[in-house]
Amino acid sequence: MVTPSILIVDDEKAARYGMRKILQKDSYTIYEAKDGANALHMIKTLQPALVFLDINMPQVDGMKTLEMINAMRNPPLVVIVTAYGSEKLAVEAMKNGAYDYIAKPYEIDELRIIVKNVFERLALQEENARLRSEIDRLEGMGELIGQSKPMKDVFDKIEKVGTTDVTVLIQGESGSGKEIVAREIYKRSKRRNEPFIIMNCAAVPETLIESELFGHEKGAFTGATERRLGKFELANKGTIFLDEIGDMSLSTQSKLLRVLQEQKFERLGGIETLAVDVRVVSATHRDLEEEIEEGRFREDLYYRIKVVNIKLPPLRHRKEDIPLLVNRFIQYFSEKHQKHILSISHESMKSLVSYNWPGNVRQLKNVIESSVVLSDSEVLNNVDLPEEIHHQDTALVLKNIDYSLSFRDAKKILIENFERDFIKKKLEECNGNISRAAEALDMHRQNLQQKIRELQINK
């Protein structure tokens, strides 16, 4: 955890005393250095998280000290302290690696806000490092990521069935990752060096699905100008993944049942019986027991394909996994699109966690890719996210609120949405003039600026 320690570097004792007196009230550990050389020694030994560095000092000035601080292995964040009217120097210092600056004489609230922002940023970086570490720990499951109980149960089943040859039925909503689970099972099987063939039963017209599965001979039907091998023949010795098997017709189900029972079939238009050795993994978003009751799915086939049943939870039922997924996707798409996105803000992460995700992990992945591509910052913010995710009206928030949250967390989400809408309205009425908006809101100008940053409001 980030230790809230601060080093004040200033050659004027009175200046150090004044800043120390303000910050000590907020329970920070405060150190003092009277010059650059003394500061460098204290940074190496005490490792403060934040340094307030006066730019005008004798011998080694603030700019040179900043350069030497940034050359350290794990440098602290540096806020430059300048005299009023020296903002040009401060801007130059920020170009050279300073986090922020503050001009003397400063207001107490301004100083506290800067410190608060620094430690929030450090906490965010620490949390992202923890999440990246957790992701690395889960690398054994490839693209499958999760630390929630439902996902741990899925991981456990994958490990247990992977080395066997039993049929597996994967059930879950569209976008929840059924194909990824099938691939992880295949990777752990003794057939992992043999073919892995995918057949999406919902994507092939009914008139062609049998030909796709079992192949056909030349002349078997109009347009069959040559022999074609089917998916089962291509998957011999390996694994076939029948995605959306619930969309398969009863006629095709009967023929599939025979293959599972006898490991034999004929190509369409052929008389030769072919033997195959194939492991079958199936998936569907449908409730097959309900489909059986409605007469749309064969009960005997159902029990054949589900010796083991793996049920993937929808993303809204495992929200504790969203931060892990978000950080993995940010890292992946930053590299893919050559962007320098380091992290995501707390407010944006809250928006992502509170959203209902009807499209599950696939939708989340698309949202993060879009946000990474469009972002102009090193940190993803609410302005980078689709509007329906970060800007929901109160009725929509109430409708989609996660009732597994504590009362306090649910209330916090509602209040933040109210504050965002109210402040945006006042800013619009004042044509973006922060001073006038602050007066209309009966707020201190700096407090309003802080709220604008916290709520990710685009001025």
| Average pLDDT estimate for 117-146 | 71
pLDDT of residue 412: 78
**Do 142 and 183 form a contact (C-beta atoms < 8 A)?**
yes
Give the range among 138-147, 212-221, 303-312, 343-352 with minimum mean pLDDT: 138-147
5-135 maps to CATH 3.40.50.2300: yes
Position 459 pLDDT exceeds 80: no
| Average pLDDT estimate for 301-327 | 93
> How far from each other are the two terminal CA atoms of the chain, in whole angstroms?
33
Element (H, E) at 53: strand 50-54
pLDDT band at 136 (very low <50, low <70, confident <90, very high): low
pLDDT in tens, 375-404: 988 889 888 998 888 765 444 555 556 666
Position 164 pLDDT exceeds 90: yes
Take residue 77 and report the two structure tokens written for it: 């964040």
pLDDT of residue 395: 46
Give the angle 191-197-200 at the CA atoms, nearest 5°: 140
Query: How many residues are present in the chain?
Result: 459
**Which position has the higher pLDDT, 158 or 421?**
158
Rounded CA separation 53/66 (Å): 8
CB atoms within 10 A of CB 418: 12
| Average pLDDT estimate for 192-205 | 92
Q: Estimate the crossing angle of helix 178-187 against helix 149-162, to 10 degrees.
A: 40
Take residue 284 and report the two structure tokens written for it: 């569907």
Selected from 3.40.50.880, 1.10.8.60, 1.10.10.2120, 1.10.10.60, the CATH number assigned to the domain covering 317-454 reads 1.10.8.60
Phi-psi region of 189 (alpha: psi -120 to 50; beta: other; left: phi over 0): beta
Q: Measuring CA to CA, which residue among 80, 1, 2, 3 is closest to residue 39?
A: 80
For residue 243, what are the CA distances in angstroms to 189, 302, 365?
19, 14, 20
DSSP 24: H
pLDDT in tens, 23-67: 988 888 999 999 988 999 999 999 999 999 998 887 778 889 999
**Do 288 and 297 form a contact (C-beta atoms < 8 A)?**
yes
pLDDT of residue 141: 56
pLDDT of residue 186: 95
Position 420 pLDDT exceeds 90: no
pLDDT band at 237 (very low <50, low <70, confident <90, very high): very high
DSSP annotation string for 181-236: HHHHHHHTSTTTTS-EEEEETTTS-HHHHHHHHH-B-TTSSTT--S-B--HHHHTT
List the chain domain ranges: 5-135, 149-312, 317-454
For residue 414, what are the CA distances in angstroms to 150, 164, 290, 388, 443?
28, 49, 38, 15, 21
Hey, what amino acid is at 84? Y
CB atoms within 10 A of CB 244: 19
pLDDT of residue 84: 67
CATH number of 149-312: 3.40.50.300
Take residue 274 and report the two structure tokens written for it: 């072919």
**Do 227 and 215 form a contact (C-beta atoms < 8 A)?**
yes
For residue 437, what are the CA distances in angstroms to 106, 421, 428, 440, 450?
22, 13, 9, 5, 13
| Average pLDDT estimate for 135-140 | 52
Give the range among 246-255, 292-301, 376-385 with minimum mean pLDDT: 376-385
**Do 380 and 339 form a contact (C-beta atoms < 8 A)?**
no
pLDDT of residue 276: 93
Q: Is there a common fold for 5-135 and 149-312?
A: yes
Is 13 exposed, middle or buried (CB count within 10 Å of its CB: 0-12, 13-18, 19+)?
Answer: exposed
| Average pLDDT estimate for 181-205 | 93
| Average pLDDT estimate for 240-244 | 96
Is 23 exposed, middle or buried (CB count within 10 Å of its CB: 0-12, 13-18, 19+)?
Answer: buried
Position 326 pLDDT exceeds 50: yes
Q: What's the whole-number average pLDDT of the chain?
A: 87
Rounded CA separation 229/231 (Å): 7
**E strand residue ranges, 286-391:** 308-311, 343-344, 379-380
